Structure 1
Amino acid sequence: MLILDVFSPLLLLLLSILLPRYGCGAADIPEDTTSEFSVRLYHQLQAAGDQDNIIFSPLSVALALGMVELGARGASLEEIRQTVGFSHLLPGVEFSLLQNLTAALSGDDTHYVIRFANSLLLQEGVTFNPEFLHLMRKYFRADVETVDFSESAAVAEQINNWVENHTESKIRELLSAEDFSSATRLTLVNAVYFRGSWRNQFRPENTRTFSFSRDDGSEVQTLMMYQQGDFYYGEFSDGSQEAGGVYQVLEMPYEGEDMSMLIVLPRQEVPLASLEPIIKVALLEEWANNVKRQKVEVYLPRFKVEQKIDLRSTLQELGIKNIFTNDADLSAMTDGKDLHIGKAVQKAYLEVTEEGAEGAVGSGMIALTRTLVLYPQVMADHPFFFVIRNRRTGSILFMGRVMTPEVIDPNDQDFDSM
């Protein structure tokens, strides 16, 4: 039977640590107690791209920063703890928290698949602290190996192959030879892969072409899925006209119901940019706690979101600065005082589609009627915000927005064959 699959969101976080005076970089961020940081990061990315889709993984950022934090001391350590949201914890508790969280999320693969993979590549001939390597394996189960970064092409190929293998070939060619030099001393790689099927699956024969109105006033044709089913739904208001008054929140669980996608949709005539400023941690909790299970008519476009982010400037804006400078203290990694973070890249991919539905899509238009609607109707035919989260822990696996879904050309010869 054909199913709708929220298929393989995956994500990759790469940090290269370079000698001073070489390279740029970025680092990474949030997690369970780091919801505030997750939202702040989203707002930074939103400000950088007016009409762009967004996809990133706060959890993967938290894991990568956790690996950096293991080797940090002094101001470098405190900036990470303060900015990410660990400062209220006893020193070191965050590592057990990250370890337990990833174990809990990846423990049940009968209903969904979440895979975490961490790798540490060291420059040949550089001596690293044995305790640092031990803790990397203990808390992050990181693979540790030595390479010669001066052989930049070979190292890039090795890392890209590793990432591709751990993300079911969804993340390709993350890095190039230009990302490394003889100054590179250490590279941390973190990959997260997720695949889940809806608890309530869409029937592919109900998918039709549909007009999607972008916030810049243009329209594109997309494939719109439809179903009437039991979901968690609520209508909320910001109490002013900033977000256009009332907006809709729909929570769609995956099989097993531990993981879900939360979709936040403004009124059709209200740009998503009007709603985004009100997104806060307290609102995320309010949405999750106050949506009620009921029958809802759902129109959701097929969409594919992919984004590669250089997080250095974003993290510096959020308060993590020291690790990117000559004053960085990463002395817990090695006795040398001359290391700093040189590069951080996150690449995420999320696809919402029907598995094997190529032969089941019709080419007719669905009428945009809202007359005689018996149940609440969520018509996602304009930009929306989304979160993929664990409903038990509140951990945010992915966060983003869809400004433009998967675009199709009804006049294309290949379309009729669908």
Structure 2
Amino acid sequence: MDKILLWSFLLTFSGSQASRPWAQRNAEFAVDLYQAICLSHKDNVIFSPLGTTLVLEMIQLGAKGKAQQQIRQTLKFQETSTGEEFSELKSFFSAISEKKQEFTFNLANALYLQKGFTVQEQYLHGNEEFFQSAIKLVDFQHAKACAKTISTWVESKTDGKIKDMFSGEEFGPLTRLVLVNAIYFKGHWIQKFRKDDTQLMNFTKKDGAAVKIPMMKALLRTKYGYFSESSMNYQVLELPYKGDKFSLIIILPAEDVNVEEMEKLITARHILKWFSEMQEEEVEVSLPRFKVEQKLDFKKALYSLNITEIFSGGCDLSGITDSSEVYVSQVIQQVSFEINEDGGEAAASTGVNIPVIMSVARNQFIANHPFLFIMKNSPTESILFMGRVTDPDTQKMKGRDLDSL
């Protein structure tokens, strides 16, 4: 039986009116997938709703019957669609493709096909038109050579940050098609944190244990909100990147609120409410430097969201190929997410520094316990990355280790 091996590789280095249907669906799916992932992951979590949406839509383009129906329902598409989501995709790619010197954002898709494996011409054309996918022929019988070829492509699209992602063991004699999605972002805060102001502070982990971590500090004028939901209080802070296209949203529950209990209450309505209701205020910010890296197999999570048909041998992917025995074997996503004083990778740069004047601002935002975060594209309100930090992994931070503080 032929298999489609589906991999999604994503990488980020931190830091207008949107189409409401797109923003709403994107937020709803992001929350659903986040909560499904958290059922089996109790510590740090990081994933890309955008990347997952893209690879599922690439399958939906060639799926029929129950397989297509399940994907459409999970992605919140209308039951009787005329394909308007693909028009939205073209608009989305156009909106994010603008070249700016203030940041780097690469979004690339590729289809690797087994030589001699027949794929519908309409499917190939659709992937080029809607997903701007590169089409490449390989021979999966030479697994290690294929692994090197695809790994090299991923490395090139992620600025060298994801290397040697394939060993060859991922491919088998029945592998026919590999879908690869790579996202890379590098940006700098509009208002940077002064490195000299970073100091060691206690961070209380989910289990109550305290660890010393590098805490960045600054007095910022930025969007901020204080919210209360079901007797749970929490703060929301927005840190925009240069270029005004991307921003990081930090959701910090009150110290007496369990982060797992709070995240169960979050809905797309809450997220869109935060985006619209936060007001610009002066905020005294303390935020950990942190790096979260994770490799997730989405099969279990997608099963819980009722996407099951594409993983079975009887699914109808006849829009992709005439073969009657094609199915998806894996959906894997690799993510690396880092936050530091610059916003992106550790690098020397010039800019206006905001002096730290503690205990002057009316609002204090001290992220010294578990919190959630969202990285969004502001013009489209698309959620690129979403996750939580329960233990800042200081061992993986580069350049400025604990001994330097």
CA distance in 1, matches of 2:90, 2:283: 37
Matched, 1:392 2:379: yes
Measured in 2, the distance between the counterparts of 1:100 and 1:89 equals 21
After TM superposition, the score normalised by the length of structure 1 is: 0.85
Measure how far apart 1:176 and its partner are: 2.5
Q: Distance in 2 between matches of 1:414 and 1:262?
A: 25
Query: C-alpha separation between the residues in 1 aligned to 2:110 and 2:336?
Result: 20
How far the C-alpha of 1:373 sits from its partner, in A, is 4.7
Q: Is the deviation greater in 400-409 or in 330-339?
A: 400-409
2:312 is aligned with 1:312: no
- Please report how far the alpha carbon of residue 45 of structure 1 lies from its aligned counterpart in structure 2 after TM superposition: 1.2
Question: Contact (CA 8 Å) 1:27, 1:343: kept in 2 or not?
Answer: no
Give the Cα–Cα distance (whole angstroms) in 1 for the partners of residues 347 and 189 of structure 2.
19
Quick check: 95-104 or 400-409, which moved more? 400-409
Please state if 1:279 is matched with 2:266. yes
Distance 1:146 1:24, change over 3 A: closer
Corresponding letter in the other structure for 1:404: D
Q: Deviations over 1:264-307 (max 9, x none)?
A: 10112322112111111111011111111010000011010111
Would you say the 8 A contact 1:204–1:357 is kept in 2?
Answer: no
Q: Identify if the C-alpha distance between structure 1 residues 230 and 175 changes in structure 2 by more than 3 Å, giving closer, same or farther.
A: same
Letter in 2 for 1:162: W
Counterparts of 1:249 and 1:189 in 2: how far apart (Å)? 33
Q: Secondary structure at the match of 2:166?
A: coil
Q: Does 1:195 align with 2:199?
A: no
Matched, 1:137 2:124: no
Q: For residues 112 and 5 of structure 2, what CA distance do their matches in structure 1 show? A: 18
Number of residue pairs matched?
381
> What one-letter code is carried by the residue in structure 2 that aligns with 1:261?
L
1:264–1:171 Cα change, 3 Å: same
Q: Which residue of 1 aligns with 2:69?
A: 78
Letter matched to residue 193 of structure 2: F
CA separation in 1, counterparts of 2:200 and 2:346?
14
Instruction: Quote the residue 1:379 is aligned against.
Output: 366
Whether 2:29 is the aligned partner of 1:37: answer yes
- The equivalent residue for 1:365 is none
Does structure 2 retain, via aligned residues, the 8 Å contact 1:129–1:333?
yes
Report the CA distance shift for 1:290/1:385 in structure 2 as closer, same or farther (over 3 A): same
Residue 154 (1) aligns with residue 145 (2):
yes
Indicate yes or no: 2:280 matched with 1:288: no
Distance 1:100 1:179 in 2: 34
Aligned-residue RMSD, C-alpha: 2.6
Verify the 8 A CA contact 2:5 2:179 in the aligned structure 1.
no
Structure 2 CA distance for partners of 1:222 and 1:27, relative to 1, 3 Å = closer
- Hey, what's the Cα distance between the residues in 2 that align with 1:41 and 1:151? 35
Q: Which residue of 2 aligns with 1:208?
A: 199
Query: Structure 2 matches for 1:7-406, cutoff 5 A?
Result: 19=1, 32=23, 33-50=25-42, 52-87=43-78, 90-240=81-231, 245-354=232-341, 373-406=360-393
- Runs of 4+ residues over 6 Å off in structure 1: 22-28, 356-359
- Structure 1 residue 331: deviation in Å? 0.6
- Output the CA distance in 2 between the equivalents of 1:105 and 1:23: 29
SS at match of 2:244: coil
Contact 2:188–2:241 under 8 Å retained in 1: yes
Alignment partners' CA distance in 2, 1:92 and 1:357 = 43
The one-letter code sitting in structure 2 at the alignment partner of 1:274 is E
Ranges in structure 1 where 5+ consecutive residues have no aligned partner: 1-18, 360-368
Secondary structure (helix, strand or coil) at the match of 2:263 reads helix
CA pair 256-115 structure 1, distance change in 2 beyond 3 A: same
Judged with a 3 Å threshold, the aligned counterparts in structure 2 of structure 1 residues 31 and 194 are, in CA distance, closer, same or farther, namely farther
Measured in 2, the distance between the counterparts of 1:332 and 1:68 equals 9
1:214 deviates by 0.2
Following TM superposition, by how much is the alpha carbon of 1:144 offset from its aligned partner in structure 2, in angstroms?
0.9
Q: Percent identity, aligned pairs only?
A: 38
Cα contact 1:260–1:391 (8 A) shared by 2: yes
In structure 1, what is the Cα distance between the partners aligned to 2:8 and 2:306? 11
Conserved 8 A contact 1:197-1:254? yes
Residue 256 of structure 1: CA displacement?
2.4
What displacement does 1:251 show? 1.1
Secondary structure in structure 2 of the residue aligned to 1:159: helix
Say if 1:25 and 1:324, in contact at 8 Å, map to a contact too. no
For 1:337-369, what per-residue CA distance to the aligned partner results, in whole angstroms no more than 9, with x for missing partners?
A: 11111121111111111358699xxxxxxxxx9
Q: Give how far 1:31 is off.
A: 6.6
Contact 2:5 2:177 in 1 (8 A): no
C-alpha spacing 1:400/1:26, structure 2 compared with 1 (3 Å): same
Q: What TM-score do you get using the length of structure 2 for normalisation? A: 0.88
> In 2 relative to 1, CA 110–26 (structure 1 residues): closer, same or farther, beyond 3 Å?
closer
After superposition, the Cα gap between the structure-2 partners of 1:358 and 1:45, relative to the gap in structure 1 and judged at 3 Å, is same
Instruction: After TM superposition, give the deviation of residue 26 of structure 1 in Å.
Output: 8.5
- Residue aligned with 1:180, SS: coil
Instruction: Name 2:14's counterpart in structure 1.
Output: none
Q: Return the offset for 1:112.
A: 2.2
Whether contact under 8 Å (1:69, 1:77) holds in the other structure is: yes
Provide the C-alpha distance between the structure 2 equivalents of 1:109 and 1:261, rounded to a whole number of angstroms.
Answer: 18
For 1:134 and 1:414, the matched residues in 2 are separated by 49
State the SS of the aligned residue for 2:394: coil
